[in-house]
Chains A and B, each alone.
Chain A
C-alpha cells in the first residue's frame, strides 16, 4: 500500500528556532510537494520537487526552504520560525497517471510557534 510518512504529527517551537519537517514516501515517486493548510484558505503550495536535488518555489515560499537529497525524502525547513507560520503542513507525493496523476498525502504536521 502507498505510504507517505511525516515524522512529526505535532510540534511546538519558539520564535526564531530552526524547524525541520521530514517527509518520506515509499513509492519511488519523482514529484513531491509541501503544502500549508489554514482554515478557509485551502491548501497553498510552498515548494515542490520533481527530482532529487531539484526544487521549485510554489505560491508561498517566503520563510521556507526545502531539501531533497534522496528520492524518497523531502524536507521542509523553517530557518527562523515565526508565529505566522503556525499551521498544518502537508507533504504529498505524486503518482503520475496519463496527464493528471494522483496525490498521496501524509497525515500532516501541526506546528505551533510560540
Chain B
C-alpha cells in the first residue's frame, strides 16, 4: 500500500503570491487533514476534509483554503502569502479520522 505523498517537497514564493500544495492520500483513506508546522513547534491543525467536504477547521484565516477530490487527494491553497507562512506543511490521511498517516511535508519559504 502506498503512503501519503506530498508535492512539491520544497517551494520558495514571494510575499503576496499564491501557492497550491498537493497531497495524495494513502490508499483506502477517505479523510485528509492539513497542518502547518513552524520550526521547533508541533503541527497546527489547518482543516480537514471528509468525502470532499470540509468538516473541521483550525484557527487559520480564510486565505487558507482547500479541496478534496473524488479520489480523496487534496490541495491546500494559500493566497496573499505572508512571511509568517513560511513553514512545513503536512498532509495526513486516515480512514474515518483515526490513526493518521502523515506525508513528509512541503517546506514553504516566503521571501
- Do A and B form a real pair? no
